[in-house]
Amino acid sequence: MKKKFFDKSLMVEGLSQLKLPGFIFLIISVLGSALPAIFGWINYHSACVREGFGSLAAQEAKIVYISGVTPILLPIIYLAPFVFCLTLFSFLNKRKGSDFYHSLSATRVNIFLSFTVSTFIWIAIIVLSSVLTASFIYAISGMTFNPVFIPYLIFTFFAAAILVTACMLFAMSITGTTLTNIIMFGMILFLPRFITTLSVQNMVNSYPIISPDAGGIINVQNNIPVSFIFRNFLGYQFSNIQLYTSISAIIYTLILAIIYIAIACLLFNHRKSELAGSGAPSRVLQHIFRCIVTLPLALLIPLLITNSNYNNSSSFWRSNMPTIITIAIISIFIYFLYELLTTKSAKNMIRSAPVLIVVVAICAVFGLSLNYAKNSVLNFSPSSSEIESISVVQYDYNYSSRNINYSGLLQKDVQFNDDTTKNSVSKILSDNVSRLKSGTSLYNSGRATNYKVGIKLKNGKYAERILYADDNQSSDIQNSMKASSKYLNAITQLPPEENNVNVSYLSDQVSIKKLWDTFKSEYTTLSENDKESIYSYTYRYYNGSDNYKEISIASFTVNGNIGIDNYTQEYPITLKMPKTAAMYAEMLNAKNKSAVKALMTAYNGKGNSYSSVGITLYNDTELSEKPVPDIELANFNMYDSNNSHDNITRCFNILLSQFDDQVDLTKPYVAVYFNVNEKSYSYYQALSNDNAKAIYDLNLKRNM
């Protein structure tokens, strides 16, 4: 029975047939991984030699980022499976080959599985050799290489390549020419995600109360090969860390690959040998394929039409009609072109015209369903008594990312059952819904605060919504939430273990750890209110309030994970943690002192040679012991521009006169920063009151 599904000799034969493309890709991947690593090593080494082992340049050159380990694999995970499948399974496209393999004693399933295993083995060899080559070179180079990258990279790339293979096999099992193989491969890999991603985007655009990552499967990040491409071409904003270290993505990708392979296997089993050389197994399927190929473009029409809330107006139609018509014409063109190219028969092309109705119908149904789905969202507006409980999921503005923070992860488990919260939520939701229905903006009367909530009804229904609250509603919700001690704990607890901590402008892991430890110990001494304000600080932009009395001179970005959920959270360093703040300023100054001095001296009105130069004056009237009189503004910023060259030069001269004084963050001070050749330098400089006033005057002059 074992023989019926897998044959070792066939697998060896498959490995042998793949030798040529396999070795070519192997060489490319090994060289393509070794060379960047070697260059990185040389770069680091020369930075050490040139500017010293502890220098900023050396520190920055020392770090190995996960996305920089094996960039060569990015194109390879698409090309290699593609080439391998076309090579090994090309017999499916020619009668001669197809007949030969089908006359062998091995069953069709056997051939399929054995050859598939051969392909997987070659892919594994390529991925492993690439990752291990780069890792080895980095390991012996002395650069900072986190060994945990290795399994993540291996599994991420391997899973992606397996899914690409699976899609290609699926396509090859239902088509019989190379052209149709490629076209259907593209459809299978990208079309479902294309549709879901655009649909979600459409829904969120129309009704922003919809949560964009409702249901993990919809989230495009889980499909690794697709998300890599979408990220590059559709400008998605997920960070490299998330892209390469998402266990849920690896699992999802592998499961999807297995499903596709199972389907391909089944289809391969039923495949008639006569299919070789023709684009589709039957006339009916040819129609179906042709319609599928037209859909990516054609579906844009209903998406466009339903994209906004305001498609009743004639101006909408006027401005969008040309685009719609153009898309329609191109779609029709593609529709007929596909038929002509795949069957090489003008007669078939003409005969296929009536089936175009199907495409139109699908678009219409799609558009209507989208509308229906969106409108049913608007129907969800429960009263307070209908609600069982509320959970709050902290919401990051970037809807497509999973940039949930640690507090957010903890908040997910907090259920609010009290009437006050339920009332608030119910009221805000119904307000939002009525605004959407009437076409009024959700963002009015100043900024609105966003809360992503999970609403569980007493009848068991559950939905997630993003609530847009004005300031009053927001403070109501905040107060009711803070009544729960569990919630308070969720927003004030620091993560126990972190995968990595970064701080603006610092890169030395040892210093960062020291800084973070200091922060943690100071944090425990804070009051609950202070801890809350640190939590809220991160969202001051979202909350629309500029009135924060505290200035953060820098913030920690902490990445970690609870189980398979990754989190990212920022913790500001404010003067509430004086020790940390002072330590940070010292670290930064120590690092950049000489560089900044040189830059300030050389500045002399030569603003163009620097990407940006800035001066920020910090003079917190609440905290400073001796505020400078007559200064009404607490802080201001001065940026380099054509007008301000001279002023900034004069500022620098003032600062240089006091350069070596020890900075005291409780007194007025200046933060200077340069961005030169993509390197950033910051420096905190002490200011005497006179100098502070002088700089302030310069700024005033600039504004006149």
Applying CB under 8 A, which residues contact another protein? Answer: 3-4, 9-10, 12-13, 16-17, 91, 94-100, 102-108, 110, 272-274
| Closer to another protein by Cβ: residue 98 or 197 | 98
Q: Is residue 325 exposed (0-12), middle (13-18) or buried (19+ Cβ within 10 Å)? A: exposed
Answer yes or no: are the C-beta atoms of 669 and 687 closer than 8 Å.
yes
- What CA–CA distance (Å, rounded) separates 428 from 413? 22
DSSP 324-393: HHHHHHHHHHHHHHHHHHHH--HHHHHHTGGGHHHHHHHHHHHHHHHHHHHHHHHT----GGGEEEEEEE
| Closer to another protein by Cβ: residue 8 or 461 | 8
Taking alpha carbons only, the member of 482, 663, 513, 665 closest to residue 577 is 665
Task: For helices 149-174 and 73-88, give the axis angle rounded to 10 degrees.
Answer: 30
Both tokens of residue 495?
Answer: 């993560």
Answer yes or no: are the C-beta atoms of 203 and 374 closer than 8 Å.
yes
| Closer to another protein by Cβ: residue 107 or 311 | 107
Question: What's the closest the beta carbon of residue 344 comes to another protein, in angstroms?
Answer: 17
| Closer to another protein by Cβ: residue 11 or 617 | 11
Question: What's the closest the beta carbon of residue 272 comes to another protein, in angstroms?
Answer: 7
| Closer to another protein by Cβ: residue 351 or 549 | 351
Answer yes or no: are the C-beta atoms of 193 and 249 closer than 8 Å.
no
Question: What's the closest the beta carbon of residue 101 comes to another protein, in angstroms?
Answer: 8
Q: Which residues pair with 671 in a beta bridge?
A: 616, 684
Q: Which amino acid is at 427?
A: K
| Closer to another protein by Cβ: residue 278 or 507 | 278
Both tokens of residue 95?
Answer: 């009668």
End-to-end CA distance of the chain, in Å?
89
Answer yes or no: are the C-beta atoms of 556 and 519 closer than 8 Å.
yes
| Closer to another protein by Cβ: residue 91 or 673 | 91
- What CA–CA distance (Å, rounded) separates 164 from 74? 12
SS3 667: coil
| Closer to another protein by Cβ: residue 88 or 506 | 88
| Closer to another protein by Cβ: residue 271 or 667 | 271
Question: What's the closest the beta carbon of residue 23 comes to another protein, in angstroms?
Answer: 15
| Closer to another protein by Cβ: residue 13 or 388 | 13
Question: What's the closest the beta carbon of residue 29 comes to another protein, in angstroms?
Answer: 24
| Closer to another protein by Cβ: residue 71 or 97 | 97
| Closer to another protein by Cβ: residue 109 or 132 | 109
| Closer to another protein by Cβ: residue 95 or 650 | 95
Instruction: Report how far apart, in Å, the C-alpha atoms of 286 and of each of 269, 289, 684, 698 are.
Output: 20, 5, 69, 74
Answer yes or no: are the C-beta atoms of 689 and 668 closer than 8 Å.
yes
- What CA–CA distance (Å, rounded) separates 91 from 99? 9
Question: What's the closest the beta carbon of residue 273 comes to another protein, in angstroms?
Answer: 5
Torsion, Cα 597 602 604 608, to 10 degrees, reads -110
Taking alpha carbons only, the member of 351, 484, 337, 511 closest to residue 421 is 484
| Closer to another protein by Cβ: residue 89 or 673 | 89
Beta-carbon contacts of 219 under 8 Å, excluding residues fewer than 6 positions away, are: 213, 402
Question: What's the closest the beta carbon of residue 118 comes to another protein, in angstroms?
Answer: 11
Residue for token pair 């920020």 = 616
Cα–Cα–Cα angle for 136, 142, 144, nearest 5°? 90
Question: What's the closest the beta carbon of residue 266 comes to another protein, in angstroms?
Answer: 14
Q: How many residues does the chain have?
A: 704
Beta-carbon contacts of 510 under 8 Å, excluding residues fewer than 6 positions away, are: none
Question: What's the closest the beta carbon of residue 516 comes to another protein, in angstroms?
Answer: 59
Both tokens of residue 450?
Answer: 């966003």
Question: What's the closest the beta carbon of residue 323 comes to another protein, in angstroms?
Answer: 42
Cα–Cα–Cα angle for 364, 365, 369, nearest 5°? 120
Cα–Cα–Cα angle for 684, 652, 54, nearest 5°? 45
| Closer to another protein by Cβ: residue 22 or 668 | 22
Question: What's the closest the beta carbon of residue 7 comes to another protein, in angstroms?
Answer: 8
Question: What's the closest the beta carbon of residue 13 comes to another protein, in angstroms?
Answer: 4
Both tokens of residue 324?
Answer: 């719609």
Max CA pair span of the chain: 97
Residue for token pair 């296997």 = 265
| Closer to another protein by Cβ: residue 273 or 311 | 273
